[in-house]
Structure 1
C-alpha cells in the first residue's frame, strides 16, 4: 500500500513537471509572433502593438484565476488540467485561423489577439494546478518550494528552447509580416496539446489528501483575511511583469536599428536580440536548477531578499552605463554559446534572469504558507494577478516609445523594490489566530 502511494506521488510529480514546461511553451510562442505584428503595424507605437498579444495572453488570468481555483476544488487536479489543455488547443487553433485573413490585416490581428486570450485561459488553469499540487506533494515548507523550483527549471528550459526552435523552424520569422509563415509552429503546438491530452487521460493521478475538503467544510474567512497573502498577490503581479518585461523590452531594444536602439548592425541585430533573450531564459533555468539543490535548506524569505537586492543593483547599473559601452558576452544559440558584442547594459539585464529565477516559487510559498483549507481558493486569486505579465510590460513599452528603452527600466526596478519589501516585511503571517483546519 505504501509503495503504491509512493509510486502514485512520483507519477503525479512527473506529470506536474511536464505541465510546468507546457506553460512556458504556450507563453513563449507569443514573442516571435508579436514581432511579426509589430512589423506589420510599424509606427511610433510599434513596441506597444508588439506587446498586445502578450498582454491578451496574460489578461486571461484576471478573468480565469478565481474560476480556475474553484474548479480545482470541485473537479480536482487532473480534470482541471485536461480542460486547460483542451482550451489551449482551441487557442492555438484560433491563432492559426488569423493567418487566413492575410488581405485583412486588422481582422487577422483581432483574431490573433482572441487566440492569445483563449490560450491565456489554458496557461492560467495549468498554473493553478501545478503550483499548489507540487507544494502539497512536497508537504509544504522548504520541500514544497524545492519541487516548485525544479518544475520552474523545466519551465525555463521550455522558455529557452521555444524561441530558438521557432527561429530554426521558420527562419527569418522576425522579417515576416504574415501569420501564415508561423503555421508550422502552430501545427506542432496543436500536436503537443493533443498528445498531452491523450497521455494525461491515461495517467492515474489522485489528489493529495491534504488538499481535499468535503461538503461539510466551513470557510469562516477567506484568503483575503491574511495580510501576507494580500501583499503576496501584489508581489506576484509585479513579479510576472518584471520577468516578462525585462527580456521582452530588451528584444525590441537590441533589434531596433534606429537612433533609439542599441546601435547593433542592421544585418545581425535581430538575430542577436533573439539569442540574448534566449540566454536570459537560459540563466533562469540555471538559477532554478541551482536553487533546487538548496531550497530545502535555505528559506524562501532569505532567497527573496538576496535575489531582489542583486536584481535592483544590476538594473540600476545597466541604466547608468547605458548603451555607449560595449562588451562581448556569450549567448546561447541552441547548441552552444557564441560570443557577440552588445551594450554592457544588455549583459547586466540578462544577468537579472538569475535573480528572477527563484522569485516565483518563493513568493508563492510565502504567500500561501499557513493558509490550510484556504489554499485552493487562494491559488485561484493568486493566478488572477499573473495579469501583471501582460499589463506591466505593455506599460513599460509605452514608456519606451515615449522616453526611451533604458528609461523604461524604471518600471521593473520599482517592481523589484516592492518585492524586496515583501520579502523583508510583508511576508510575515500576522494572522495566525485565524483557524485554517
Structure 2
C-alpha cells in the first residue's frame, strides 16, 4: 500500500544515527500498523458481504470510502501538519485512526452504512498520520542513507499487510456461520436482525485491540524525543489556485508525468481490487471452494507476502536492468497470470492469482520514479499528483464489483488485467530511461 509524502522537509537536530535508533523504530512501527490495518479490509469485505447480503459492488464501497479518504483528506491534512507541526500531526492521525477503530464496536450493532463511516474515519486518520510521519524517514539519519531507511520502512509496511490477515482472519471469520440467500429468506425480521448482530460482532474485539495499540502509539509518539522538522517552503506554497496552475504546467511540460499518474491510478486500483476479491475468488467451487476463514487465513497473506518478497528481489534486479524493462516484464507476467486465473480452474487458477502479488512488488516505486525522472523544479508537484492517483484503490474495485455482479466474479478479473496492460505500455514506452537519481528515489513514498 502507499503512503503520502507532503513536500520537502528538513531537520534542525543532529542526524547522528545512534541518537535516532529509538525514533526510527517508532516510525517503522507506524508503517507496520497502517499496512496491517489496510490489508484487513480484504478480510472484512467478504465477511460484510455475507452478513449484510451485499452485491459485490455494494461490498466494494468499503474500498471506495477507505481510499476516497486518501484523496479527500490529504490536502487538509497537509495544511494541518504545516500549521501545528509534524509531531502533533502524527499524534492527531493516530488518535483519529483509533477513533475509527472504536467506531467498529457500535457499527456491529447498527448497519453497513455505519461500517462505511467507520472505515472513512479510520482512513482519514491514517492519511493524516502518513502525511506527518513520512518526513521522519528522511531526517532520522544521514541523507546518504535515506533510501535504505525508506526500503526498511517499506518492508515493514509490507510485513504488516502480510501478517495481519494471517493473525486476525481466524478471529474475525473463524466463528462465522454464513447463511445462503434461501436460508436468510426464511428468517423473520427479528431473527435476521439477530443474525446480523451476531455475525458482525466478530469484528468488535480485533478493532478494539487495534484502537488500544494506536492510542498507545499516540502516547509514545507524543513523549518521544524526535527531530524538529521544518518545511522548506518555496514557490510551490502559493495557495490552492497557484498549486493547481503549477500542476497543470508540470503535466503540460512532461506528458510522461501525466501517464505516470494514470499508471499509479491503475496499479493501485488493480492491486487493491485483486486483494478485495481474492477471498471470494478462492471460495468459488470452480477454483478452490474454500470457506472464507480458511481462504483469508491461509492464502490471502501469500498475496501480500509476495509483494514483500518481490521488493527485495527487485532491489537487486534493478541494479543491473533498466526500471522500464523490469516494469514491463512484471506487468506482462501479471497479465498472463490473471488470464490463467480467469479462464482456468482449480489450483492453476488459484495459484496464478495469488502469484500476482510477487510481480506487483516493484510497480508502485518504479512507476513513481520513472514519472519523476529528470523533471527538475516540477518534482514536488509531480509527487503530489502521483499520490492523488492512489484514489484508483477506491474506483477500480468498485468498477470490478459492478462487473462481478453482471458477468461473474472470475471473468471480472479482466478489468485488473486491462489496468496492467497500460502499465506494460508505460514501462515499454520509457524503457530507455536511465536509473533515477538519488533525489528522485528519495521522493518515492512508502508503498
1: CA distance, partners of 2:134 / 2:322 = 18
Equivalent residue number for residue 166 of structure 1? 168
How many Å separate the matches in 2 of 1:381 and 1:246? 24
| Distance (whole Å) between structure 1 residues aligned to residue 309 and residue 397 of structure 2 | 24
Residues 205-245 of structure 1 deviation map (CA, whole Å, 9 limit, x = unaligned): 33667x62269977896244333333222222111111111
8 Å contact kept, 1:81–1:125: yes
Alignment match of 1:52 (pick from 57, 61, 65): 61
RMSD: 3.5
Instruction: Tell me the equivalent position of 2:423.
Output: 419
Q: Which residue of 2 aligns with 1:308?
A: 331
Q: Which residue of 1 aligns with 2:401?
A: 397
How many pairs does the alignment contain?
396
- Contact preservation (8 Å) 1:24, 1:159: yes
- Relative distance call for 1:109 and 1:272 in structure 2 (3 A) is closer
Extract unaligned runs of 5+ from structure 1.
Answer: 102-107, 327-341, 430-435
- Counterpart contact for 2:51–2:200, Cα < 8 Å: no
Is this contact kept in 1: 2:93–2:128, CA < 8 A? yes
C-alpha distance 15-382 of structure 1, shift in aligned 2 (>3 A): farther
Contact 1:65/1:383, CA 8 A, preserved across alignment? no
Deviation at 1:18, TM superposition (A): 2.2
Residue in structure 2 matched with residue 155 of structure 1 by the alignment: 157
Q: Whole-Å Cα distance in 1 between the matches of residues 313 and 232 of structure 2?
A: 32
Q: Deviations over 1:21-76 (max 9, x none)?
A: 1221221232333223211232xx52222222222111111211323344455545
Match of 2:306 in 1: 283
Displacement, 1:414?
A: 1.4
- CA distance 1:75–1:225, change in 2 (3 Å): farther
* TM-score scaled by length of structure 1: 0.78
- Residue equivalent to 2:282: 254
SS at match of 2:413: helix
Question: Could you say which residue in structure 2 is the equivalent of 1:186?
Answer: 207
Describe the SS at the equivalent of 1:175.
coil
Pairing of 1:350-389 with structure 2 (within 5 A) = 350-370=354-374, 378-389=382-393
Match of 2:122 in 1: 119
Deviation, structure 1 residue 2:
10
| Corresponding position: 1:87 with 2:105 | no
1:29–1:163 Cα contact (<8 Å) kept: yes
Superposition pairs of residues 2-17 of structure 1, within 5 angstroms:
4-7=15-18, 13-17=24-28
Secondary structure (helix, strand or coil) at the match of 2:287 reads: coil
Q: Cα distance, 1:168 vs. partner?
A: 3.4
1:432: which partner in 2? none
Deviates further, 225-234 or 385-394 = 225-234
Say if 2:375 is the partner of 1:347. no
User: Counterpart in 2 of 1:331?
Assistant: none
State the match for 2:246 in structure 1. 222
Q: Residues 270 and 396 of structure 2 are in contact (CA less than 8 Å); yes or no, is this contact kept in structure 1?
A: yes
Q: Look up the match of 1:67.
A: 76
Counterpart mapping for 1:324-339 below 5 A: 326=346
Q: Is the contact between residue 149 and residue 358 of structure 1 (CA under 8 Å) also seen in structure 2?
A: no
